[in-house]
Structure 1
Amino acid sequence: MLSLIVRVIARKTLNFDSFFRGTIFKRHLILGIETSCDDTGCAVLDFDGTILGESLYSQHLFHLMNGGIIPPLARDLHRMHIETVVHQAVKESGLCFNDLSAISVTTEPGLPMSLSIGTKYGKYLCRHYKKPFIPIHHMKAHALTARMVKRDLEFPYLVLLVSGGHCLLAIAKSADDFLLLGEVIDNAPGEIMDKIARRLKLKNLREYSVLSGGRAMEVAASKADNPLEFEFATPLMHYRNCNFSFAGLHNKVTRTIITEEKKYNVAPDQVLPSVNNICAGFLLSITRHLCHRIQRAMEFIDARNLILPQHRILVMSGGVACNNIIPQGIEIICNEFGYKLVRPPPKLCTDNGVMIAWNGVERWKAKVGVLQNFDHVDYNKCSPIGESIIEEVTQANLKCKWIKLDKFLNLITNGENQKAVV
């Protein structure tokens, strides 16, 4: 009799579980996989942007010890950890793969060796569990993440994406429609920061030993006793467009470091006594450059009436958006032109599975790129974010009266550090 009761209870429990999955989990759920560079990320989101489960494996320390990202090593580490990362995110969500509506995966742009791991594994999951595949553009995902945490953010809005591989200004018109106003013509700012941090040997100091180059430079700059000691020229001052360039600035800073090393006769493993002021001067130059291009973009947008006053939002995202010095200057430009600066939280500015899952949600809602047949989808090293109107911006030949950054200089000089986040 007792065993019969146990079997009945068990059957009712199973029926309840089946009912629960068949009703509550009819809401759409998207799993996102990110492997565009050196982070293996995964997350499960619902359509409200609720993060049900997430997992991230960072390769940062491996590449830090090697002086930069090594693509074959990044690929092998992705391959080694992707299954664990994905299953951890799903387990944390309390779901199973059959509960998912679709799987979104970064397929472009990025390191081909890294992208290949995520793309292949995502396709495998879609075939095995018979789920739609949503290919994701990495930079569009960065641009749209702010809409997950700021739900009243409507299209169109202005986007500044700054990272170790990209720097661009664009107008986000929809989840899949972007207008490119300007892009970097050489090296991205995050890459330059890492290179200069290595050249300054910041990792030889214990407090910076496990920090990224950009973060180490930010902390060092905040300790500067004379931020204006080294004034580096602002790039592209005579070019009336919205493109970016950081290679020349990199060369100027490198020459300054060499001069300072000779001046102080530093040993190969020693750090310059002027390191904090060099970092401050470098970040000041980057901030001016970004502010000039942003100001021209805003004036061009006003002239063409591309964004209505009620949509005057500048979203800043990407790894460099974690920096808390640069946005202080950018916010001055935003205030002058009636824009609100929006930054996602730092953990969502760097590469992660959440932004890929959210872009999957955006694309599902927009009915764009949700594929049942995905055999033809491949990964791509390079991919434009949208239609380029860079030539139109150049032909407009806008001569700007630059907004003064005196307030920003005072903030830096006084060592103040503000955060402009959502």
Structure 2
Amino acid sequence: MKFLQQMRCSSLVSIRNSSKSILAIETSFDNTAAAVIADGKILSNEIFDQVKYHNMTGGTDPRFAKSLHMRHLPKTVNKCLEHVNANFIGAVAVTTMPGREICLQVGLNYAKELCHAFNLPLIPVHHMRAHAVVARMCSDSIRYPFLTLLISGGHCLLAVAKSVDEFYLLGESIDIAPGHFLDCVANELGLAQMGEFKSKSGGAAIDQLALIGDPDKFSVNYKGIRISSKAPLNFSFSGVLAATKTAIWDFKSACSSQQRFEEWLPHIAAAAMRIVSRHLMHKLTRCMIFLHENSLNVNRTLVVSGGCASSKVLISDITKLCHLRSYSLHVPPPSLCIDNAVMIGYTAQERLNHGFEPIHCKNFDSILVDGFAKIGHDVTTKIRISKHITSNYNRLTRPEFSTANEINDLNTDQFVTNDFGCLL
């Protein structure tokens, strides 16, 4: 803790009006992370990646993740502070929602201890909002409001970011997230036991294999993904996961040898990625048309973030869709798509710039963790889409097959900048 001992503040200054840095902490699930941010720049960034430890036990266990956080968070923070002058830390930011509550609590408790010890204010940060907001650190051209698709192992949602603290939830998964779907497929294929994938998440392993596979060679028999018309932008992956598992079992039973099965792994992986990609793009297309029909301005900007945004296959397909729909696509680099503390620190800084008052020690009892917090105003059941939107993969990605050009006929400046509060 020698670097923490440098954090001495004889009097508390206003972090908003000073050149002080923000120490950020992230422990929402299975990454232990710390970073120092100042003026939108990364001064230090450390992540203790738990993936290989969870792969050894056959899956991510929140209690095991908590124990790893407790063991490695102090070391991660101390290592982070080796690269900066700790005297210039002016506040601590920490993830408080959503995530696994027992993991969130580790980060919050440690952040409070630091603040009490060194007389620093605390800035709570919403994990999912941070995934979207950090894209603004990477590109000056992203203006509020913008549309965001956040995809990971625990979340899948579509939202509009009107400001750093005001989001509107348009659609979310009603069961499992795409990363969970891919992790389950990877588990069925036994990828975690293969040498080259032991230190990778299931989704990352599937994505790597899919790059050399042909999705048309492996068929999954399912009758589409049905979502209630009362929430037409919601996602669902549980039904198609069951169908994919059945297809894998049937194929494995029919294989003459294990070698033959392993030869087909890239094609199975590519088929799994195609299923996820098609579902995401279908909902994105429906969302873009809904925004157009209701004259809701998002500056024709889409931010895709979260762990699954590191997928080369998914981003390639979403890039095609955005080109077809005249949207500007922004994806943070992979190191900022996974759970990290940089996004927490940057979002905290934006909150301060937006007028948020950091919380001082005497009011820390008001800061609680919330494992199931929504990203913002839930308007999922207020969405109405009048037209049938194709779910055909070619029509979603290729101009020569596309039959839906209705939102490409308007320029951005012809949108009416409606208050999204009209959806409430």
TM-score category of the 2 structures, normalised to the smaller one: 0.7 to 0.9
Q: For residue 252 of structure 2, what is the aligned residue in structure 1?
A: 261
The secondary structure found in structure 2 opposite 1:182 is: strand
Q: Does residue 1:86 correspond to 2:77, yes or no? A: yes
Instruction: Structure 1 unaligned segments of length 5 or more: list them.
Output: 1-24, 411-422
Q: For residue 314 of structure 2, what is the aligned residue in structure 1?
A: 326
Code of the aligned partner of 2:131:
H
Q: How many residues align?
A: 380
Q: Does residue 1:107 correspond to 2:99, yes or no? A: no
Q: Does residue 1:377 correspond to 2:374, yes or no? A: no
1:220 equivalent among 199, 206, 209: 209
C-alpha separation between the residues in 2 aligned to 1:307 and 1:214? 33
Q: State whether residues 63 and 69 of structure 1, in contact with CA within 8 Å, keep that contact through their aligned partners in structure 2.
A: yes
Cα offset for 1:153? 1.2
2:324 equivalent among 315, 333, 336: 336
Q: Does residue 1:284 correspond to 2:253, yes or no? A: no
Instruction: Structure 2 unaligned segments of length 5 or more: list them.
Output: 1-16, 400-424
C-alpha separation between the residues in 2 aligned to 1:288 and 1:294? 10
The secondary structure found in structure 2 opposite 1:101 is: strand
Q: For residue 236 of structure 2, what is the aligned residue in structure 1?
A: 245
Q: State whether residues 329 and 408 of structure 1, in contact with CA within 8 Å, keep that contact through their aligned partners in structure 2.
A: yes
Cα offset for 1:238? 6.4
C-alpha separation between the residues in 2 aligned to 1:299 and 1:145? 26
C-alpha separation between the residues in 2 aligned to 1:253 and 1:87? 44
String of CA shifts for 1:117-153, please: whole Å, max 9, x gaps.
Answer: 1000001111111111111110001010101111231
Q: For residue 361 of structure 1, what is the aligned residue in structure 2?
A: 349
C-alpha separation between the residues in 2 aligned to 1:235 and 1:164? 21
Give matches, 1:141-156, under 5 Å: 141-156=130-145
Give matches, 1:94-133, under 5 Å: 95-96=85-86, 98-133=87-122
TM-score, normalised on structure 2?
0.85
Q: State whether residues 200 and 271 of structure 1, in contact with CA within 8 Å, keep that contact through their aligned partners in structure 2.
A: no
User: 1:194–1:402: structure 2 CA closer, same or farther, 3 Å change rule?
Assistant: closer
The secondary structure found in structure 2 opposite 1:135 is: strand
Give matches, 1:21-420, under 5 Å: 26-47=18-39, 49-93=40-84, 95-96=85-86, 98-224=87-213, 226-232=214-220, 233=222, 235-236=224-225, 239-240=228-229, 241-266=232-257, 271-307=261-297, 311-368=299-356, 370-372=358-360, 373-393=363-383, 395-401=384-390, 405=394
The secondary structure found in structure 1 opposite 2:149 is: strand
Q: State whether residues 167 and 189 of structure 1, in contact with CA within 8 Å, keep that contact through their aligned partners in structure 2.
A: yes
Code of the aligned partner of 1:82:
L
**Percent identity of paired positions between Structure 1 and Structure 2:** 35
Q: State whether residues 54 and 90 of structure 1, in contact with CA within 8 Å, keep that contact through their aligned partners in structure 2.
A: no
Q: State whether residues 390 and 396 of structure 2, in contact with CA within 8 Å, keep that contact through their aligned partners in structure 1.
A: no
Cα offset for 1:271? 4.8
The secondary structure found in structure 2 opposite 1:170 is: strand
String of CA shifts for 1:273-309, please: whole Å, max 9, x gaps.
Answer: 322111111111111100010001101111112215x
Code of the aligned partner of 1:245:
S
Cα offset for 1:403? 7.2
User: 1:234–1:278: structure 2 CA closer, same or farther, 3 Å change rule?
Assistant: farther
The secondary structure found in structure 1 opposite 2:92 is: strand
Q: For residue 405 of structure 2, what is the aligned residue in structure 1?
A: none
C-alpha separation between the residues in 2 aligned to 1:156 and 1:234? 36
Question: How big is the alpha-carbon RMSD for the aligned residues of Structure 1 and Structure 2?
Answer: 2.3
The 10-residue stretch of structure 1 (326-335 or 269-278) with the greater mean CA deviation from structure 2: 269-278
Cα offset for 1:161? 0.1
C-alpha separation between the residues in 2 aligned to 1:344 and 1:53? 17
TM-score, normalised on structure 1?
0.85
The 10-residue stretch of structure 1 (196-205 or 319-328) with the greater mean CA deviation from structure 2: 196-205
User: 1:284–1:220: structure 2 CA closer, same or farther, 3 Å change rule?
Assistant: same
